[in-house]
Amino acid sequence: MQKVLLGAEAIAQGAIDGGMSGVYAYPGTPSTEITEYIQSNKYAREQKLHSMWSTNEKTAMESALGMAYAGKRAMVCMKHVGLNVAADCFMNAAVTGVNGGMIVTVADDPSMHSSQNEQDSRYYGRFAQIPILEPSNQQEAYDMAYAAFDLSEEFGVPVMIRITTRLAHSRAVVQLSPVRSQNSLKLPDDPRQFVLLPNIARKQYRKLLAGQSLFEEKSNTSPFNQYHEGTDKTMGIIACGISMNYLMEKFPEGCPYPVVKVSQYPLPRKLVTRLSEETGYLLVLEEGYPIIEELIKGYLEKEQVKGRLDGTLPRDGELNPDHVAKALGLPVHKGNDVPSLVANRPPALCVGCSHHDVFKALNEALKELGDGRVFSDIGCYTMGALEPYHSINTCVDMGASITMAKGAADAGLIPAIALIGDSTFTHSGITGLLDAVVENSPITIIISDNESTSMTGGQESSAKGRIEAICEGVGVLPGHIHVVLPVKKNHESLVKLIKDELNYPGVSVIIPRRICVQKNRRDIKIKQVAKSI
């Protein structure tokens, strides 16, 4: 049986076929398609595999660990910056270990196609000292998700699968393996394994450390890592993950240099040592940070290593076949230049989007107070920083709008405004709101509610129908919670409402609520299809 799958979908299919009982995730490009695939997969639905969205990556990671505690196989998926949110649980899950297999799939976004940074999750894998799998193509993405549960159960630790945007969003044919059944419910053999009191944690941590040499030996013999012989020994190449494809692309008849393909970490020391001994110098091709290059080269630079650090490859951004060709000293036959008249076409808010009405009202309400006091967040409304609105002054991390506004107000920037979306608010805004309520900070919070997680494709938001109740429950005074309909005819009243609340020296929440136009269109289509059936 074969299927055409995105790299992200291949991981989903591999986990389903590998006997997974549930996936936990919060949407984030380029990881979203993994969970969406499982949600719509027929077999997964029949088997009732868990696939509902979580409120954020931390709750997702903890739920997955809970499932693994109970002996079943679980996967948690996120984009790279989502792992920052989940890092507390992630680091400790390496210490507790797991009972059923647990996969942590992280999709990095080098070149920042849809992200705030291009951090490399392999650092996190090393930080937690767990095995990492990095597929080079869609087939490996499938095979690794399938095999990662075995690896996780063999060593009793979570296993990371790290992919990047290019593989996540590229399709190819994938051959499927036989479907395995799920684990049955089974408590951990050691009832204290998951109780990280200091004396138990120390014991567990030593167990993790003792596993390190075993993980490395597994890497040395892993079918995902290979030593390819080569005749020209002036140079040896270490090709990590997807960079192996770019190398093969340039040498379709076979690479003349010896190559170590690395798709499983810790680094296969035996293969790398042999490569270093047999060749003049090393070239490291890796997607993301120069983590392996730095590791091999060392602080004292005793090894002669080329890569991103010495300029052989660009220091930032994703790799492509042209970068690799240049690093190999091969010619690149670039076509004609892009004519200068070709203007950038950045993303824009959709026609009819409710955020338009919010920005228009906000800009007018702030005319007298002046610029520089709108703290915003991650979502479609971040585009309010661009033409024509220039409404917002910050976009840092999920939920930072409310807490940064609070900090700025503490510093004397009064009033300060936070602009956040409904899904981001439930992801990481509620705890910040509590901080503001506790001190009755003079901030006005606009929760631009489009009843959807829109930037990632309109997933259901956990906030739906609950936002004002949450705000009230956290302690915002009911008289300062306003739900309004952001449409043209309500412009004047919205401007007045914002101005009034800016004059109030405490926490106020304005909730302009109108469903995302894209989500609305999709919902209508789904209803029509349901009716016709």
* Residues at the contact surface with another protein, assessed by CB under 8 A: 4, 6, 29-30, 32-33, 113-114, 137, 166-167, 169-173, 242, 245-246, 248-249, 252, 320-322, 325, 332-339, 341-350, 380, 383, 387, 455-456
| Closer CB to another protein, 346 or 370, in the complex | 346
The nearest distance, CB 52 to another protein, in angstroms, is 22
| Closer CB to another protein, 194 or 224, in the complex | 224
| Closer CB to another protein, 29 or 222, in the complex | 29
The nearest distance, CB 373 to another protein, in angstroms, is 26
| Closer CB to another protein, 172 or 201, in the complex | 172
The nearest distance, CB 474 to another protein, in angstroms, is 30
Strand order in the sheet with 481-484: 374-375, 416-421, 443-448, 508-512, 481-484
Cross-strand bridge partners of residue 510: 446, 482
Specify burial of residue 451 (Cβ count, 10 A radius: 0-12, 13-18, 19+): buried
| Closer CB to another protein, 129 or 320, in the complex | 320
The nearest distance, CB 532 to another protein, in angstroms, is 9
161 SS3 class? strand
CA distances 251 to 245, 256, 258, 322, Å, are 10, 8, 12, 13
DSSP string, 418-457: EEEEHHHIIIIIHHHHHHHHHTT-SEEEEEEB-SSBTTTT
The per-residue b/e assignment along 370-404, b for 16 or more CB within 10 angstroms, e otherwise, is: eeebbbbbbbbbbbbeeeebebbbbbebbbbbbbb
| Closer CB to another protein, 193 or 354, in the complex | 354
**Residue 233 carries which DSSP code?**
T
The nearest distance, CB 467 to another protein, in angstroms, is 23
Residue matched to tokens 């020391």: 269
Specify burial of residue 364 (Cβ count, 10 A radius: 0-12, 13-18, 19+): middle
The nearest distance, CB 515 to another protein, in angstroms, is 16
Residues with Cβ within 8 Å of residue 128, at least 6 apart in sequence: 90, 91, 93, 94, 158, 160
Gap between the Cα atoms of 233 and 518, Å rounded: 56
In this structure, what are the phi and psi dihedrals at residue 238, rounded to the nearest 5 degrees?
-105, 115
| Closer CB to another protein, 94 or 163, in the complex | 163
Residues with Cβ within 8 Å of residue 397, at least 6 apart in sequence: 81, 84, 116, 378, 428
Gap between the Cα atoms of 140 and 457, Å rounded: 26
The nearest distance, CB 333 to another protein, in angstroms, is 3
The nearest distance, CB 76 to another protein, in angstroms, is 20
| Closer CB to another protein, 74 or 167, in the complex | 167
Strand order in the sheet with 132-133: 22-25, 74-79, 102-108, 159-164, 132-133, 264-265
Residues with Cβ within 8 Å of residue 502, at least 6 apart in sequence: 365, 369, 415, 417, 444
The nearest distance, CB 389 to another protein, in angstroms, is 13
The nearest distance, CB 380 to another protein, in angstroms, is 7
The nearest distance, CB 459 to another protein, in angstroms, is 13
| Closer CB to another protein, 197 or 342, in the complex | 342
Classify strands 226-228 and 259-262 as parallel, antiparallel or unpaired.
Answer: antiparallel
| Closer CB to another protein, 74 or 516, in the complex | 516
User: Residues 8, 168: contact at Cβ < 8 Å?
Assistant: yes
Gap between the Cα atoms of 439 and 286, Å rounded: 47
| Closer CB to another protein, 98 or 167, in the complex | 167
| Closer CB to another protein, 338 or 411, in the complex | 338
Single-letter code of the amino acid located at 449: D
| Cβ atoms < 10 Å from Cβ of 516 | 26
CA 266-89-459 angle, 5° bins: 100
The nearest distance, CB 390 to another protein, in angstroms, is 13
Gap between the Cα atoms of 489 and 432, Å rounded: 33
| Closer CB to another protein, 311 or 388, in the complex | 388
Instruction: State the Rg of the chain over Cα.
Output: 25
The nearest distance, CB 137 to another protein, in angstroms, is 8
